[in-house]
Every structure is written in C-alpha cells, then in structure tokens.
Amino acid sequence: MRAMVLEDPGSPLRLRERPIPEYGADQVLIRVTACGVCRTDLHVVDGDLKEPKLPLVLGHEIVGVVEAVGERVEGLELGQRVGVPWLGGTCAECAYCKRDQENLCDQAVFTGYQIDGGYAEYAVADHRYAFPLASGISDAEAAPLLCAGLIGYRSLCMTGEAPKLGLYGFGAAAHIIAQVALHQGRKVFAFTRQGDTEGQEFAHRLGAQWAGDSSMHPPTELDAAILFAPAGELVPAALAAVRKGGVVVCAGIHMTQIPAFDYSLLWGERCVRSVANLTRRDGQEFLALAPQIPVRTQIQTFPLAEANQVLERLRTGKILGAGVLLPEIS
Ligand SMILES: [Zn+2]
Ligand SMILES: [Zn+2]
C-alpha cells in the first residue's frame, strides 16, 4: 500500500510503499477512504509532541471500510463504514479507566502518534476505538468529525450552558462546534488571526453573532470561551473577555507559553482548564448528534501524496475549514 511516512521529525513526510498492516485479535483492518489533517499532526511533524513511534504514519481522523476483523472483535462487521479517532487504546485497568475517564489513562496510545494512522491506503484499529458512522454524510466530510468535531464537542460540554460563547481560532474544530452551539441556541463570537477577513466572513456565514481579530474585545461579555488556536497569549485575552464565573477552555494538545497576567483577570471565579483527548462516550454522543443537526463540514480535499503541502497550508492558515486526504485518488 501507499503511505505518507514520518521518518524524522522536522523533515517532510515521505511517500512509501509498505505492506498492508497485520491486524490483531481485537483489531479491524480498514481500507482508508478519507483522512483529515489535524493541527496535532503538525505538532508531531515539528517535534512539539515528543517521542512518536518512528517511522510513523500520521492521521487520526480516519474514515474507511472494515475489510477484515480479528477474532475477538464485537459490534463491527465486514463492509461497515467506521471512523477512527485520536484515542487508539487504553489499559482498561487504571483508576481513570475505571471511572470512565479513559481519556486520561496513563497507558493510553494515540492514533497517528504511537499507532500508525490514516495517511495511508489501509490502517488497523482497536474495535473499541472505531466508531460506526451513520449515512448522510460523505467519507471526506465525515473525517473532520473524528477529531476536530470530537475534541470540539468535549470542549463545548466543558463550557456548561454558556449562552454567549467565544471561539478563538476559527478553523476545523470551531466551524463544526459553532454549528452545534448555534443548534443549542447559543450565540457564537468568532476570533480569527489578525486581518483574516475570509475566516471572519466564513464565521458570519455559519451564523456567528460577531467575528473579529483575536486581539479585539468582543462587543459584549462572554459566558465562556474555547481556545482552538495554540497561542498562549490568547489565554489572558480570553479571560479578559469572559464574565465572572466564566470558563476558558484550552482545547489544543500543545500551546505556546502562556504569558504572565494580572490576577484580576482570573479573579471573580473565572476558570482556565484544558481538555485532553476524548472518551468513547464523547464519540458515541457526538457522532449520534452530528447527523441530527445536521453538522455540515467545510472541507478541501487532496490526494494522499500532497500531505506535506496540506500540512504547510494548515500551518499558514490557508485552509478554510478542514483539509482531508483521499488515499484512493492520485
Ligand atoms: Zn487506563
Ligand atoms: Zn486531531
């Protein structure tokens, strides 16, 4: 099979011919039809996330068809369409796993980081971390739901009711979660890179109440904010925009250093928290909710071999919505 392989962090991925991966008793073999490109992939390529398995196939927004099932697999069948997320396996025995916080498992392994992912024609996945996907959305449009959507959904849940919600960094995750928030009757305030009028217009088209630069103060006090952009300076900016008792949720896996800020920004029971990974329950809930809204993802598709160019476009903010690789086209 063809795969885009990371051999050396800091260097571009290389297109390689590899054998179709072997699957274990708890795993399914998946023919990959679409794989989203996530900012986390960029953090792995750049070495911000340490000690990836090498060589590594990136990609943790996998959509594909089950081609083979291991002997202990339950609930998935040959020919079924499935999605594979970032969380690829947990120990099932630690204190976190036992209280349904498997997203915090110390032994967790992650797709496209410690396990080969979906920048390839085939991938294997643990059946407990492969979700059946409902029809009504194409493979490419479904791919961003698997990380941008899921992490966004978990972040949204962490904001509580928050009728006025700020979204900092209006990319793949924000454009999905804005639709969920609007569906729930919330008002959305979108913050983009400085001068990103295209991103701001995109937010308005999706129904945002207001859109502006991330350095700007919103026209009204927010109840909560979610930071999808990996820029530490947004933490004090968002704290300054939320009301007393409000929460600022950091959704990214990596963030630049948060600058020192005055205690008055945190005072008034404001709260800063992070969101890590996802639980299986998040996956089941969100993938059931998305088709009801229905969430429409804005995607740009590319052949597998163009993965490096897609990562570069993501880095420079030149993808509107989400970038998706299609291994079946060349
Ligand atoms: Zn565990
Ligand atoms: Zn991701």
Q: Tens digits of per-residue pLDDT, 248-292?
A: 999 999 999 999 999 999 999 999 999 999 999 999 999 999 999
Cβ < 5 A residues, ion ligand 2: 38, 40, 147
Ligand nearest to the CA of 90: 1
What's the rounded Cα separation, in Å, for the pair 295 and 184? Answer: 12
Q: pLDDT tens across 11-28, in order?
A: 999 999 999 999 999 999
Ligand positioned closest to the Cα atom of 108: 1
What is the pLDDT, as a whole number, of residue 112?
98
Ligand nearest to the CA of 87: 2
Can you tell me the distance from the alpha carbon of 81 to that of 102, in angstroms, rounded to the nearest whole number? 24
Rounded mean pLDDT, 221-237? 97
Backbone conformation region of residue 100, classed left if phi is above 0, alpha if psi is from -120 to 50, else beta: left
Q: What confidence tens digit (pLDDT) does each residue in 123-149 have?
A: 999 999 999 999 989 999 999 999 999
Whether the predicted pLDDT of 156 surpasses 80? yes
Q: Which numbered ligand comes closest to the C-alpha of 112?
A: 2
Confidence of residue 321 (pLDDT cuts 50, 70, 90): confident
Give me ligand 1 centre to Cα 101, in Å.
8
**For position 256, what pLDDT does the model report?**
96
- Please classify residue 67 by burial: count the beta carbons closer than 10 Å to its beta carbon, then call 0-12 exposed, 13-18 middle and 19+ buried: middle
Q: Which ligand is nearest to the CA of 154?
A: 2
149-161: buried (b, 16+ CB within 10 Å) or exposed (e) per residue?
A: bbbbbbbbebbee
Residue 301 has pLDDT above 80, yes or no: yes
Mean pLDDT to the nearest integer, 233-239: 98
Q: How many helices (H) and strands (E) in the chain?
A: 9, 18
**Average pLDDT along the chain:** 96
C-alpha 37 – ligand 2 centre gap (Å): 8
Residue 329 in this model has a pLDDT that exceeds 90 = no
Question: Any idea which ligand is nearest the CA of 103?
Answer: 1
d(CA 147, ligand 1 centre) in Å: 20
Say if CB 115 and CB 109 are below 8 A apart. yes
- The string of pLDDT tens digits covering residues 45-74 is 999 999 999 999 999 999 999 999 999 999
Cα–Cα distance for residue pair 161/126, rounded to 1 Å: 34
Measured from the alpha carbon of residue 58, the closest ligand is 2
pLDDT at 330 over 80: no
Name the helix (H) or strand (E) containing 97. helix 95-98
Asked whether the beta carbons of 61 and 102 are under 8 A apart, the reply is: no
CA nearest neighbour of 170 among 200, 215, 194 = 200
Find the 169 Cα to ligand 2 centroid distance in Å.
14
CA distances from 275 to 152, 159, 254 (A): 9, 11, 11
Residue 139: its pLDDT value, please? Answer: 97
Say which ligand is closest to the CA of 35: 2
Ligand 1 center to 96 CA (angstroms): 6
pLDDT for residue 128: 95
What pLDDT is stored for residue 33 in this prediction? Answer: 98
Residue 322 has pLDDT above 90, yes or no: yes
Residue 6 reports pLDDT greater than 90? yes
Ligand found nearest the CA of 94: 1
Among residues of the chain, what percentage have pLDDT more than 70?
A: 100
Ligand 2: distance of its center to the CA of 268 in Å?
Answer: 33
* Confidence (pLDDT) at 320: 83
**Ligand 1 centroid to residue 214 C-alpha, Å:** 37
Distance 73 CA to ligand 1 centre (A): 20
Q: Could you say which ligand is closest to the alpha carbon of residue 102?
A: 1
Q: 172: CA distance to ligand 2 center in Å?
A: 10
The Å distance, Cα 123 to ligand 2 centre, comes to 17
Q: Which pLDDT tens digit goes with each residue over 93-129? A: 999 999 999 999 999 999 999 999 999 999 999 999 9
Distance 150 CA to ligand 2 centre (A): 9
Residue 148 Cα, ligand 2 centroid: separation in angstroms?
6
